[in-house]
Amino acid sequence: MPTRFTTSGYLPGRMLIAMPGMTDPRFSRTVVYICAHTAEGAMGIVVNREIDTLSFTDLLEQLNIEPTTRCQPIRIRFGGPVEAGRGFVLHTPDYLQDTTMLVSEQVALTATIDVLKAMAEGRGPRRSMLALGYAGWGAGQLDSEILENAWLVSPADDDLIYDANMDVKWEQAIHKMGINLSTLSGAAGHA
């Protein structure tokens, strides 16, 4: 049975949008889907950075998985700097395994080879994105970064998660929040 989601006051199922002043080059102009956020820490997947040195077919070959003619071309994304060799698939909940984590009613996370096999055979989730690695924060770290004005928090958006046009996702995420990019400051401040 898939793990059910909980949202008790934390941010799973939400998007983080890096503020213009983000100094960490791994996260500059990124959009991150938050999969887990508790008092112990947080975990998310960067949805707008592509890995152009590895194709889905190459990855399947490395894993000894034979793609069928029903296999869709998939762009692999940089999910974050933690466990960069491990695959994570964000997807619609029409595909579930016992190890699938339901993040929200619209998004699930599976990190097993079985989901890759299903995708190679054309029987995977209706919509999905494959990432290598994830973004992780220790206890209180993400909360502090948000308070320090490093991230905007917004509702999740299927197009931002799944669409393939990486070059404009950051701007689209800010625009969808109703914010004019030219008036957005990266400087921290308190009223």
Assigned domain for 162 exists: yes
Q: What is the pTM of this model?
A: 0.88
Residues 6+ apart with CB under 8 A from 98: 1, 2
Q: Residue 186: inside a domain, yes or no?
A: no
With a cut of 50, say whether residue 189 has pLDDT above it.
no
Q: How many domains does the chain have?
A: 1
pLDDT in tens, 68-122: 777 777 889 999 999 998 999 999 999 999 999 999 999 999 999 999 999 998 8
pLDDT for res 166: 86
- pLDDT confidence band for 7 (50 / 70 / 90): very low
| Residue 22 lies inside a defined structural domain of this protein | yes
Asked if residue 27 is part of any domain, the answer here is yes
**6 within domain boundaries:** no
Q: Examine residue 110 and state whether it is found in any structural domain, yes or no.
A: yes
Whether 161 maps to a domain, the answer reads: yes
Q: What is the CATH number of the domain that holds 20?
A: 3.40.1740.10
Containing structural domain, residue 145 = 14-180
Domain presence at residue 50: yes
Question: With b meaning 16 or more CB within 10 Å and e meaning fewer, what string describes 16-46?
Answer: bbbbeebeeeebebbbbbbbbbeeeebbbbb
